[in-house]
Amino acid sequence: MKRAKSALASALFAGLAFAALPVPLSVAFTDTYETAPEQDPAVVLDGREVGPGYLVLSPVRGDGYLRLYEVETDLGIERLSGDGLLELRLHELKVLSAMEKLESDASFLDGLKKAAMRPAEFVESTVSDPVGTAKNTISGVGKMFGRLSRGVEQAVSGEAGSPAELAKSIAGQARARRELAVKLGVDPYTNYKPLSDKLDQAASVSTAGSLTVNALLALVPGGMISQVAGRAESFRTSLVDSTRAELEQRTADTLREVGVSDNVIDQLLKNPFYTPAERAVIAYHLRQFSMVDGLDILAVKAAAAQGRDEAYFQLRKVVLTLHYHETIAGLASIRQVAGYPIAIRRDGAAALIMPLDMVAWTEATASAFATMNEGLSDLPFPPTAVDFLMTGDITDLAAERIASFGWQITANMPMPDGPIH
C-alpha cells in the first residue's frame, strides 16, 4: 500500500526532476529509502493537540516534506498540510472560541438586535465543503517539488464582491471588521468561514452604534489582543485603513517597484489560494530586501501556487528568506536551480531556505535533493558552501544523506514573529 503524500510534495518533486540535470544513478536506483515517520500529535504539538473546539487526530503522517494533519471540530474533520497552516488554524480557532463568548454578554446581544434592523449590512452565507473534507493524499508543496474607484466598479461587476459587500464598506462595517481582526491577530480576509462569520457579526454590532471596536475587544477574554511593535505596525495600520481594492493596488505598486512584471503581478492578484492580506505580506517583505537581485523569481513561484498549502509554503518562504537575509547572512541574489529558488549569499555560499516540517529520505526527496545538488554544481560559479535551512525536523537518514552533499544543515529554525505562522 502506497504511503499518503502531500500535494505540495508531489509538485516540488515533479518540477525538480523535470527542470534539472539527471539524478546520479547511485542515488536514483541504489540508495536506501525510508517512509516518513508517523508521529504522536501530543509530541509534535507539545500538548496543544486538544483545545477549545478541536482535536488533532493521531497519528500525524507525512510525505517527506510536510506533516499531514487531521483536525476534528464541530464541523467535521479538516485536513491541513503543513505546520504553518495548522498553526494558522489553531490560532483562528482560539480567536473563534473567544469571540463566541461575546454572545453571553447582554450588551452584545442588544447590539445584535439593533444590527438586525439593518439587514443590508449582513452578508448572505453560502458555503460548499467549508472544512475541505476531501482526503488529500499529497500536499501541494509536494506537487510543487515534484514539478520543480476600482472597488465600486468591481462590486457592480461581481469581481470583488456583491452590492451588499459594497454597502458594508460604505456603512463602515468593513473597516470595523478589519480593525477587529487585526487587533485580534487574525487575517481580516480569513477564508475560515466560522471565524469570518463571527467577525462580520461583531462588526455589524459596532456599525449599529452599540459598541465601539475597542468596547468589543474589552469583552474578549484577556490575552487575545495582538501587540506588534516596529515596522510591522505600519503594515497593520495599512491593513485597517485600506479597502480591499486599495490594498490590492498597493500590493501591485510595491511589486512593480521591486521589478516584478505586470503579468506576474496580475497572476498573483488573481490567485485564489492567497488572501489579499497575504499577497500584501509578500510584497511588503520583498520590498525590505529589494536590493537583492532576482526577487522576481520568488514572486513568480508565489504567483504559480496551485493549492492552499503550496501558497502558504511560498508565503512562508518569502518571510523566512528576508529573516535569513537580515539575521544570518546577507544575500546578493536569488537564482533558480533545478526549478527551485535558491539564495546566493554575498560571501558566495548558497542558502536553501525551506519551510519544511519533517524531511525524510523517501525516494521522492532523495531524487529532488540530489537533482538540486547537481544543479548547484552546474552553476557557472558553483557556491563555496551550501547552507540548508528548514523550519522543522529531519530524520537521521535524511540528515546523513544530505550532509554527504557537503551541505550544512540547520533544522528547527523558528519562523520570525508576525502574522505568518
- Tell me: the pLDDT tens digits for 358-405? 999 999 999 999 999 999 999 999 999 999 999 999 999 999 999 999
Cα separation, 43 vs 33, in Å, equals 24
Integer CA distances (angstroms), 217 to 106, 155, 181, 224, in order: 15, 30, 10, 9
Integer CA distances (angstroms), 359 to 176, 250, 363, 389, in order: 42, 37, 12, 11
Any idea which of 73-87, 131-145, 229-243 has the lowest mean pLDDT? Answer: 131-145
**Which residue, among 292, 259, 264, has the nearest Cα to 279 in the 3D structure?**
264
Q: What's the rounded mean pLDDT across residues 392-420? A: 95
Task: Supply φ then ψ for residue 191, to 5 degrees.
Answer: -95, 10
**Which residue, among 177, 42, 189, has the nearest Cα to 122 in the 3D structure?**
177
Residue 182, C-beta contacts closer than 8 angstroms, at least 6 positions apart: 188, 226, 236, 239, 240
How is residue 136 annotated by DSSP? P
Position 152 scores a pLDDT of: 40
Band the pLDDT of 217: cuts 50, 70, 90.
confident
